[in-house]
Structure 1
Amino acid sequence: MAELLRLENVTAGYGDSIVLEDVSFNMQQGDSLALLGRNGVGKSTLLVTLMGLTRLHSGKVVWQGKDISKVASYQRAHAGLGWVPQERFMFPSLTVEEHLTVVARPGPWNIKKIYEIFPRLLERRSNMGNQLSGGEQQMVAIARALMTNPSLLLLDEPMEGLAPIIVQDLSRVIRRLISDEGLAVIVVEQHAKLALGMTSNAIVLERGRIVHQSDSASLMQDAETLSRLVAVAA
């Protein structure tokens, strides 16, 4: 498969503060990546760096063969980077359907397909953003990103604060996006084993640096490494 994304020795942060140091990895089309590590190691910063929302001190971000290191965030979204931030950013004055249609771009993902994978949103399509539960808001946030028809979906803590049954539902959707739809996905997730169970590859960050790279299945079986780097009990 063709290369989709490549980071070359990326050092980035906020203003003069450096959070990521010398980060390098690449993804092929259709790849899935679990981005793991303890709190505060730079996982979310890596996603917002991909979206162009941090200061790039050095290195290069290459997207589909083109250097986008100096490209504006909205242009990256138009180029196929879809971002689902932790905050979800619901608009109280918009209905569920308006949240989805206002960002729609041409491609296979349309409102009919969204309602197929998120039937709850079909039921709630006329509800306003502030009338939704946390789980429904997360569904809208993911669906809204899909309506931009991205080539790579960036998910920042998609399961945070959600009930177990909603976590199961969203996990099924993410697995479908990866296995059936062939969408490339990067998942930042505190529940390491959940993320590893959905993805093909894994990266662990520590103090802004990559300290481990492997396939997800191997890391899942490596209890010592999980415990040492991600604080997962054996």
Structure 2
Amino acid sequence: MPELITLERVSAGYGAAVVLEDISFALNEGDSLALLGRNGVGKTSLLVTLMGLTRLHSGSLRWSGADLARLPTWKRARVGLGWVPQERHMFPSLTVEEHLTVVARPGPWNLRKIYELFPRLQERRQNMGNALSGGEQQMLAIARALMTNPRILLLDEPMEGLAPIIVQELVRVLRRLVSEEGMTVIVVEQHARLALSLTARAIVLDRGRIVHESDSASLLADNAQLDRLVSVA
């Protein structure tokens, strides 16, 4: 059985500028990956490269063994990449429930299951999406991605700028997605220890290159190396 997603010696960027260099890794169904590094090292660029929003200079991207690089962004979403961008991108003219139903695709994730996962969204289902608090918008962004019934979930800084009580709720959700639902996830997160506690594997980027790859537990246990790699306290 081929890996779900495979990158081989990928170099990519914006126009002529190369941001990512020689990136190689693979994920199987059910894998969870923390993508770490200091600001500006290429973490978000790697996610948007998977979504087809950068220029691929060299290397290959494969999805279940097939060429992914030739697919436009909307087709990547159709085959199973669920993206939760840092900006959230709420639609001002849609209610919470409309945000969810407009993208719905067949599969186990439906309104009932989403509202069970995020009771707060059910309470606000008739509210406009852009009228929600920042934490509620993040819940909606994750829920909207789940309604596409993705095979892999790409999360870009899901905890950024959120109140501690909302972070706790999102941590609960992500633990369930990984541990109980078997969702394949890539998490970009500045809170390195939090991301490592949620995932099985870790990759650290520096200047667009992979400088460390290990299981999450061993990196989490090595305070000196973690501090050296990502400069966290």
**Structures share fold, TM-score greater than 0.5:** yes
Please give the range of the TM-score, normalised by the shorter of the 2 chains: over 0.9
Structure-2 separation of matches of 1:84 and 1:172: 17
1:156 aligns with 156
1:195 aligns with 195
Structure-1 separation of matches of 2:225 and 2:7: 24
What is the CA distance between 1:2 and its match in structure 2?
A: 5.0
2:26 aligns with 26
Helix, strand or coil: the match of 2:166? helix
Structure-2 separation of matches of 1:153 and 1:159: 15
Unaligned ranges ≥5, structure 1 = none
Identity of aligned residues (%): 74
1:184-219 superposed Cα distances (whole Å, 9 cap, x missing partner):
000000000000000000000000000000000000
1:19-56 superposed Cα distances (whole Å, 9 cap, x missing partner):
00000000110000000000000000000000000000
1:145 aligns with 145
Structure-1 separation of matches of 2:43 and 2:199: 16
1:102-133 superposed Cα distances (whole Å, 9 cap, x missing partner):
00000000000000000000000000012100
Cα pair 2:23 2:209 within 8 Å, conserved: yes
2:43 aligns with 43
Helix, strand or coil: the match of 2:4? strand
What is the CA distance between 1:181 and its match in structure 2?
A: 0.5
1:108 aligns with 108
| Count, aligned residues | 233
2:6 aligns with 6
Cα pair 2:103 2:144 within 8 Å, conserved: yes
Structure-1 separation of matches of 2:155 and 2:149: 15
Alignment of 1:48-127 (within 5 A): 48-127=48-127
TM-score of the pair, normalised by structure 1? 0.98
Structure-1 separation of matches of 2:30 and 2:2: 9
1:168 aligns with 168
Helix, strand or coil: the match of 1:38? coil
Cα pair 2:2 2:65 within 8 Å, conserved: no
Which amino acid letter does the alignment assign opposite residue 46 of structure 2? L
Structure-1 separation of matches of 2:118 and 2:52: 29
Structure-2 separation of matches of 1:123 and 1:166: 16
Which amino acid letter does the alignment assign opposite residue 103 of structure 2? V
Structure-2 separation of matches of 1:25 and 1:222: 22
Cα pair 1:6 1:25 within 8 Å, conserved: yes
Structure-2 separation of matches of 1:129 and 1:97: 9
Structure-1 separation of matches of 2:174 and 2:185: 8
TM-score of the pair, normalised by structure 2? 0.99
Unaligned ranges ≥5, structure 2 = none
Structure-2 separation of matches of 1:223 and 1:194: 13
Helix, strand or coil: the match of 1:6? strand
